[in-house]
Amino acid sequence: MRKILIANRGEIAVRVIRACRDLGLGSVAVYSDVDRASLHVRMADEAYHIGPGPAVDSYLKIGAVIDAARRSGADAVHPGYGFLAESAGFASACRDAGLVFIGPTPEAIAGLGNKTAARGYARQAGVPVVEGTDEPLGPDVSDDVIGRAAARIGYPVMVKAVAGGGGKGMRVAREPSELPAALRLARSEAQASFGDPRIYLEKRIEHPRHVEVQVLADAHGTVVPFVERECSIQRRHQKVIEESPSTVVSPALRCSLQQAAAAVAVAAGYTSAGTVEFLLDADGRFAFLEMNTRLQVEHPVTEMVTGVDLVTWQIRIARGEPLTLDPAMVATPRGHAIECRVYAEDADAGFVPSPGQLTTLRTPDGPWVRHDGGMDEGARVSVFYDAMIAKLIVWGATRAEAVARLRRALLEYRVGGVRTSVPFLLWLIDQKEFRSAAFHTAYLDELLHQRAGRPFSEPDVSREEVAMIAAALYHSSQRVPPVVEAGAWKARARMEGLRS
């Protein structure tokens, strides 16, 4: 393997380019019309245009990506996460083109991407599974038949897309009268998001924790499970904050989760990096949820508490190398890590995207702070893609230390030109339930409902501060002491800074 094409954009493309450099490998970027000047394009050794702005015409266009790999002379492809990362068809196309796909086999992606088939792997491995239907329910299955299945499972039930992921194609039915609408909406979203309207039912566990286990598996039969990640802070089934380890997982439970995750990977014949997700109830009982056949957005928290570079290991496994990690070293955390995602979005307006140019971008720094960004100052947040600006990851010897460092780091952001999720994140991590880790998967949605639309952002004082500075400079030139009012110390301090 000499040269890797990264079939992605933004933060994850930058992350993989850096791993390529660490390993002395060439890197190839691909880009759409709107990404021509993006950071990942400028960082890569080579870059190839693959189409217009909409992802369906560029980053999701398998033929264009394969052609770029052929033109560049790349001999491997890393899919990152999102876009084609969990496409068995793309993995197959890479294999047919003689390219190494840095990920699991097409067969493993197809098998685990089908959520009902994935439940079958878990059962085969002896891993507890949330009660539900074991076969896909297509559009030809009547609501009456599905209603009888829901009654056998017991309400409330989750209606979930067979090909789902990222919180899409999911609806709750708390009683029989809610089931028809839940079916209609879940099927419609599943068709729009995945091109597959099939759904299945799962018993809804009230107020569970979402805990997941990272695994690495090589082609020589070795599977290594890592310390767990806690991903219960979610908004509408989408993760907001992730951390490792979980405060509610004991050493004995950790061992059981790791054994279960490894067993699912073995049953599925899995290779590369993957994540086995579980639901954990209030009594500490866990059940298999799904397995993600790709690198997770939150993989840095695992790297921070284990010291293992997961991306370079993905590449090494794809080269045929055996895993040489000490399982005991990665099974136990060292300290505590937390990640949050910084989006260009307006939380005060219902978390709508806030596209535009980043006229200012100053990012956090300092001991035990990691900023995984895919944009720099002057970049434009496009309407065509996910609005994530960066991921902020911090480490501390204890959870309390990590939370304090996260707050300090968030306060160091200076972003101009777009609204961001930073005020919302600062509010969230100051909540008593977050501080005490007393939360569950529905916690944030319930908290936001109670908040009833009150704004997260503090009033914009930038104009006031500019006026104070101007007044202070004027009075100084007139040799008249400026009036000191509440908040005027900022103006005076800035004036002194301007003088120096």
Residues involved in catalysis: 294
DSSP letters along 369-427, please? EEEEES--TT-EE-TTS--EEEEEEEEESSHHHHHHHHHHHHHT-EEESS--SHHHHHH
Euclidean distance between CA atoms 203 and 128, whole angstroms: 13
Name the amino acid, one letter, at 100.
V
For residue 280, list its beta bridge partners: 209, 286
3-class SS at 357? strand
3-class SS at 116? helix
Nearest of 79, 105, 142 to residue 265 by alpha carbon: 105
Q: Are strands 209-217 and 223-235 parallel, antiparallel or unpaired?
A: antiparallel
262-267 long-range Cβ contacts below 8 angstroms, 24+ apart: 262/215, 262/223, 262/224, 262/225, 263/125, 263/126, 263/127, 264/121, 264/122, 264/125, 264/127, 264/288, 264/291, 265/215, 265/217, 265/223, 265/291, 266/125, 266/223, 267/121, 267/122, 267/124, 267/125
CA distances from 299 to 49, 76, 84, 306, 391 (A): 28, 22, 18, 11, 11
DSSP 431: S
Provide the greatest CA pair distance for the chain: 85
325-330 long-range Cβ contacts below 8 angstroms, 24+ apart: 325/216, 325/224, 327/224, 327/225, 330/224, 330/225, 330/226, 330/227, 330/306
The residue assigned the tokens 């309400």 is 155
Euclidean distance between CA atoms 405 and 421, whole angstroms: 18
